[in-house]
Chain A
Amino acid sequence: MSRRAGAPVLLACLLALAGGMLFGLRYGIVDLPAGRIVGILAHALGLAGEPGGESWHAAVLLDVRLPRVLLGALVGGGLALCGAAMQGLFRNPLASPGVLGVSTGAAVGAVLALYLGLAAQSIWALPLLGTLGAAVTAFVVYGVATRRGQTPLGTLLLAGIAFGSLNGAITAFILSISLADYRIAGQIMYWTLGGLDRATWDYVKLAAPAILLGSAAIVYHARDLDALLLGETQAASVGVDVPRVRRRVILATALVTGVAVSVAGAIGFVGLVIPHILRFFVGPAHRWLFPASLLGGAAFLVLADLFARWAIAPEELRLGVVTAAVGAPFFIFLLLRRRKEGWW
């Protein structure tokens, strides 16, 4: 199999995403025939008159399924892209979107919102506190690792790990004191497992600008990161402003990851492993890997969420459980096939 099959893989990811989103809209507990879905969508877009039949069908399609599918695509694409960017930047296959401690920072904010009961008062409390926690962590980690304008990657990585552990301890502490009230503790545990069941248009409106803006910034620097793969001196010699590229990619990753975790909880696997899987097909060049990760991650999460909704309906599986349970065996399969050649 060619490792440079960029265009066909990109097309396949795009088709998988489109298919996943259509399936996500089409299938659910309520049986909505395809014709009815088209009618509702056409009416919502102002292309057709009032569709007949049950009016609540429109609510199910437009206010439950559509925001959920969109949010799944945004979060999945954003996390996979950030994982690819961090792996490239740190030149480390273990790097993930959470490597800077950002996702644990988002978790602290989110868990605090649940513990204080703010999440029950306002739908904005949880995503906003989560984003705030991610931002604070990103700036502290970056500040600690930076001296005289220099940010050595090794120091950054260690600072990220240290603050990630600290955040983990804070989250665990809040969880332990909240055990006095099992309802709150249950909420926190539930959120920790990750899921899209809170998806509303408000969440889409909050997440879309941040994730799209951050992703655009990362994709924009794809060629600079390609140069960086050859080493910093090499990159600088072809005109890459290394510190600036690094700073921008790190900030963009913090933004995307923080917002993604805030709206969907801690969804493992996507950011770490989807880029590896796609690197297997398109090679390490970021100008192919980035768009492939964006589309592939989005498709993967939308399909995983479809499975989570379908498997035990009318209850649902936690999305974080599905992503790891489906993804890990597939990744191990790829790993076994490639172990002769080595991954990178």
Chain B
Amino acid sequence: MRVEGETFPKTLLDPAGERIRLERPPQRIVSATLVADEMLTEMIAPERLVAVTAYAEQPGVSNCREKLPPHAARLQQAYTEEILALRPDLVFVADYSEANTVRQLLGAGIPVVRLGQERGFEAIARNLALLGAVTGEEARAADMAASMRARIEAVKRRVAGRPRPRVLYYTQWGTTAGVGTLIDEMIELGGGRNVARELGLKSVTQVQLEAVLAARPEVLIVQGYLESGEAAVRRLLDDPLWAGVPAVRDRRIHAVPAKSMGCVSQYGVEGLEAVARALHPEAFEE
């Protein structure tokens, strides 16, 4: 997705080859994906947002609960009718949203922006710039990206030169995150080495328990999602199967909130900070 033109009218270029004209800065914006909820609530005037997703209300997954405009509708799902009834002049959907919905919206003459679930801090910065360009809030978007980058640099400075432990992110359903994920960046930028890389894993994927035990990670990062973070840590500490794993033996298991780990917006930097603090607590003592 690209935007042509410095000032309105601008042209949106869809990867599918669609050219969409934006006459003026949109004033009735529908966000049908959590990434856009989290970015727009910090970027644009609240009265321009006419709908957000229902996820944005969920404490376990949303980073923008306190910032939601009360008047904005909460979308349970991106149903075409529900969106059309809001008379939007711009709709943000996820790139995995139903193609039919997108076609129907475009057919009704409504500009649609498809947002990728980006897998890295640089990609998040690109999405911020895209949102800034289509909403006409370029300066604000640039500030947000700059602040995110500054916080990343601050973390890098603090952990620089410290020993990098071997870290594995492991969920209770046996998945981990390899190259090409934000979690991988959080571990590597946060001063650790991602064990999933040693195992040759890419993206978020299932990993056999035996492989985890054999990899002998020095630190485990877990996330409390369906259970509390403490419960997730306790479960591994109490399981005799894990007793021989260095991270468990040395009690280096840390829970990071799911809303930070699974996030694909600028709030991902909070996950990075949490991981870095867990890996190098001494680096954050002031």
Partner of B199, one of A64, A180, A197, A314: A314
Q: Is the CB of B210 within 8 A of A28?
A: yes
Known A-B contacts A120-B226, A120-B227; A56 and B210 likewise in contact (beta carbons under 8 Å): no
Question: Which residues of chain B are within 8 angstroms of A54 by Cβ–Cβ distance?
Answer: 244
* Interface: A316 (CB within 8 A): yes
Q: Is the CB of A63 within 8 A of B240?
A: yes
- Residues in B200-215 with C-beta less than 8 Å from chain A: 200-201, 205-211, 213-214
Question: Which residues of chain A are within 8 angstroms of B226 by Cβ–Cβ distance?
Answer: 117, 120-121, 183-184
Question: Which residues of chain A are within 8 angstroms of B216 by Cβ–Cβ distance?
Answer: 56
* Interface: B77 (CB within 8 A): yes
Q: Complex formed: what's the CA distance from A28 to B210 in Å?
A: 8
- Taking each of A56, A313, A314, which has the highest tally of chain B beta carbons within 10 Å of its own beta carbon? A314
Shortest Cβ distance from A199 into B: residue = B209
Shortest Cβ distance from A191 into B: residue = B173
A135 shortest CB reach to chain B, Å? 26
- Residues in A87-114 with C-beta less than 8 Å from chain B: none
Question: Which residues of chain B are within 8 angstroms of A30 by Cβ–Cβ distance?
Answer: 210, 213-214
* Interface: A60 (CB within 8 A): yes
Q: Complex formed: what's the CA distance from A121 to B214 in Å?
A: 26
B232 shortest CB reach to chain A, Å? 9
Q: Is the CB of B76 within 8 A of A187?
A: no
Write out, one digit per residue, whether chain A residues 182-199 have a CB within 8 A of any chain B CB (1) or not (0). 011001001000000100
Shortest Cβ distance from A198 into B: residue = B174
Write out, one digit per residue, whether chain B residues 51-86 have a CB within 8 A of any chain A CB (1) or not (0). 000110000000000000000000011000000000
Shortest Cβ distance from A314 into B: residue = B211
Question: Which residues of chain B are within 8 angstroms of A238 by Cβ–Cβ distance?
Answer: none
Known A-B contacts A197-B174, A314-B207; A121 and B213 likewise in contact (beta carbons under 8 Å): no
Q: Complex formed: what's the CA distance from A271 to B216 in Å?
A: 39
Residues of B in contact with A, size category = 20 to 34
Write out, one digit per residue, whether chain A residues 152-194 have a CB within 8 A of any chain B CB (1) or not (0). 0000000000000000000000000000100110010010000
* Interface: A315 (CB within 8 A): yes
* Interface: B123 (CB within 8 A): no
* Interface: A309 (CB within 8 A): yes
Question: Which residues of chain B are within 8 angstroms of A187 by Cβ–Cβ distance?
Answer: 173
Known A-B contacts A59-B244, A314-B211; A180 and B77 likewise in contact (beta carbons under 8 Å): yes
A229 shortest CB reach to chain B, Å? 44
Known A-B contacts A56-B245, A120-B226; A197 and B208 likewise in contact (beta carbons under 8 Å): yes
B96 shortest CB reach to chain A, Å? 9
Partner of A29, one of B54, B206, B208: B208
Q: Complex formed: what's the CA distance from A117 to B231 in Å?
A: 14
Q: Is the CB of A64 within 8 A of B173?
A: no
- Residues in B172-230 with C-beta less than 8 Å from chain A: 172-174, 199-201, 205-211, 213-214, 216, 225-227
- Residues in B11-67 with C-beta less than 8 Å from chain A: 54-55
Q: Is the CB of A313 within 8 A of B209?
A: no
Q: Is the CB of A64 within 8 A of B241?
A: yes
Q: Complex formed: what's the CA distance from A314 to B172 in Å?
A: 17
Q: Complex formed: what's the CA distance from A184 to B216 in Å?
A: 28
Q: Is the CB of A315 within 8 A of B208?
A: yes
Shortest Cβ distance from A118 into B: residue = B226
Q: Complex formed: what's the CA distance from A120 to B235 in Å?
A: 11
Q: Is the CB of B210 within 8 A of A29?
A: yes
Shortest Cβ distance from B262 into A: residue = A183
* Interface: A55 (CB within 8 A): yes
* Interface: B142 (CB within 8 A): no
* Interface: A279 (CB within 8 A): no
Q: Is the CB of A190 within 8 A of B173?
A: yes
A147 shortest CB reach to chain B, Å? 45
Shortest Cβ distance from A187 into B: residue = B173
A43 shortest CB reach to chain B, Å? 15
A24 shortest CB reach to chain B, Å? 12
Question: Which residues of chain B are within 8 angstroms of A309 by Cβ–Cβ distance?
Answer: 208
Question: Which residues of chain A are within 8 angstroms of B200 by Cβ–Cβ distance?
Answer: 314
* Interface: A65 (CB within 8 A): yes
Q: Complex formed: what's the CA distance from A55 to B245 in Å?
A: 10
Q: Complex formed: what's the CA distance from A316 to B200 in Å?
A: 14
Q: Could you show 9 A-B contacts with beta carbons less than 8 Å apart?
A: A30-B210, A59-B213, A60-B213, A64-B209, A180-B77, A197-B208, A313-B208, A314-B200, A315-B206
Given pairs A120-B227, A316-B206, 4 additional interface contacts (CB within 8 A): A28-B208, A55-B244, A56-B216, A197-B206
Closest 6 A/B residue pairs (Cβ)? A56-B244, A314-B211, A120-B226, A30-B214, A29-B211, A63-B241
Could you tell me which A residues sit within 8 Å of B by CB distance? 28-30, 54-56, 59-60, 63-65, 117, 120-121, 180, 183-184, 187, 190, 197, 309, 313-316
